[in-house]
Amino acid sequence: MVEYIVEGRQRPNPPVQVNALTLLIDGRPVNALDTGGDGEAVLLLHGWAAPMTLYQSIIDRLAQKGYRVVSFDMPGVGQTPEPEAPLTVQDYVALTLAVCREMNVSSCIPLAHSHGGRIALSLLGGPDCPIEIKKAVLMGSTGVVPPKPSGVKLRQMGYRAAKALGTAPLTRPIFGTMYEALRDKRASADYKAASPVMRQTMNNVLPADFTHLMPGIRAQVLLIWGELDTATPLDRGRTMESLIPGAGLAVIRGAGHFCFADNWPQFSAVLDAFL
């Protein structure tokens, strides 16, 4: 069951209408915004640990141009509390569809960054997506898992062995400290900052590869990538460009993973031209 409460407020600059919503999905609150005019809906899907407020420049620009921008904080991000149990990609997709359904979004342009790309690719490549999607924008998107060199595979095997020894009741007193040190050394900053439930969520979603869905995507897709992106390197954008029929790749000069923040003039010009 989904209920929602709407609070309308006028943002002084720029002058666009913003509706702040608290969606109660299965009894769990989800923080959301419905911004802009009566034009085509743009569905903003943010990156991991990056609340929708970080994308305010994009939201405001689209709203000023008459688009309706629908955005929400995913569980554990911004003002949406963490889930009770770890999530999968399918859980994120189901939540996104619930948000769209309750906000009367039947057709939209997904604009997805990083982790949000997993959701967008699932919608674009899924055979039974209930939302009409003719265009999509993927920014520094996840979805391509590169093959691991043999050296990396060997290190992963060693780490799994250390984890087994460091967590098993009989061997934990001997190997526990070694495993914890090894885990902390190899963990990303996002992983270290995450709670146990969000760490397991990361473990669930990070291995997900969507390259098998890409050749079947029929929407017009624009890929926007930071030239210096280290979180999702540019070669993954080039892989998507080669696999998604008719996709275009725009490289933002001198920009990293948050390419819209690093080079707003080029990013906004590219986005305007596509939309």
- Same-domain status, 57 and 137: yes
- Three-state SS string over 28-39 comes to EEEEEEEEECCC
Task: Give pLDDT, residue 171.
Answer: 73
Q: Are residues 36 and 104 in the same domain?
A: yes
In a domain? residue 221: yes
SS3 category, 203: helix
Please name the residue ranges forming H helices in 168-223. Answer: 172-186, 189-193, 196-205
- Let me know if residue 201 belongs to a domain: no
- Our count of domains for the chain comes to 2
Domain edge (last residue) among 194, 223, 256: 194
Per the domain annotation, does 199 fall within a domain?
A: no
Please tell me whether residues 187 and 214 are part of one structural domain.
Answer: no
Amino acid found at 132? E
Of 162, 194, 226, the position where a domain reaches its end is 194
> Does one domain contain both 126 and 27?
yes
Domain that holds residue 188: 150-194
The pLDDT assigned to 10 comes to: 40
Tell me if 202 is assigned to some domain: no
Q: Are residues 140 and 155 in the same domain?
A: no
Helix (H) or strand (E) holding 271, with range, is: helix 264-274
Burial per residue of 64-100, b for 16 or more beta-carbon CB atoms within 10 angstroms, e otherwise = ebebbbbbbbbbbbbebebbeebbebebbbebbbebb
Q: Whose CA is closest to 60, among 263, 262, 260?
A: 260
Amino acid present at 204: N
Q: How many CB atoms lie within 10 A of CB 55?
A: 24
Alpha carbon distances (Å) from 43 to 100, 136, 140? 9, 9, 16
Which residue, among 133, 100, 102, 96, has the nearest Cα to 116 in the 3D structure? 96
Tell me if 184 is assigned to some domain: yes
Q: Same domain for 270 and 241?
A: yes
Q: Is 38 among the domain residues?
A: yes
Give the pairing type, strands 2-10 and 109-113.
Answer: unpaired
Token look-up 């055979």 returns: 127
88: domain CATH number is 3.40.50.1820
Q: Whole-prediction pTM value?
A: 0.82
CA angle 16, 223, 203 (to 5 degrees): 95
First vs last C-alpha separation in the chain: 34
Same domain, 122 and 177: no
- Based on the domain organization, do 76 and 125 belong to the same domain? yes
Whether the bond into 14 is cis, omega within 30 of 0:
yes
Residues 84 and 215 in one domain: yes
Claim to verify: residue 131 and residue 156 sit in the same structural domain = no
Assess if residue 114 is contained within a domain. Answer: yes
Which SS3 state, helix, strand or coil, does residue 254 take? coil
Residues 6+ apart with CB under 8 A from 206: none
Claim to verify: residue 85 and residue 164 sit in the same structural domain: no
Indicate whether 127 belongs to any domain: yes
Do 223 and 95 sit in the same domain of this protein?
Answer: yes
User: Per-residue pLDDT for the chain (275 aa), expressed as one digit of tens each?
Assistant: 343 333 444 444 445 677 888 999 989 999 999 998 889 999 999 999 999 999 999 999 999 999 999 999 999 999 999 999 999 999 999 999 999 999 999 999 999 999 999 999 999 998 889 999 999 999 999 999 987 554 544 555 554 665 666 677 777 777 567 656 555 555 556 667 788 999 999 999 999 999 999 999 999 999 999 999 999 999 999 999 999 999 999 999 999 999 999 999 999 999 999 99
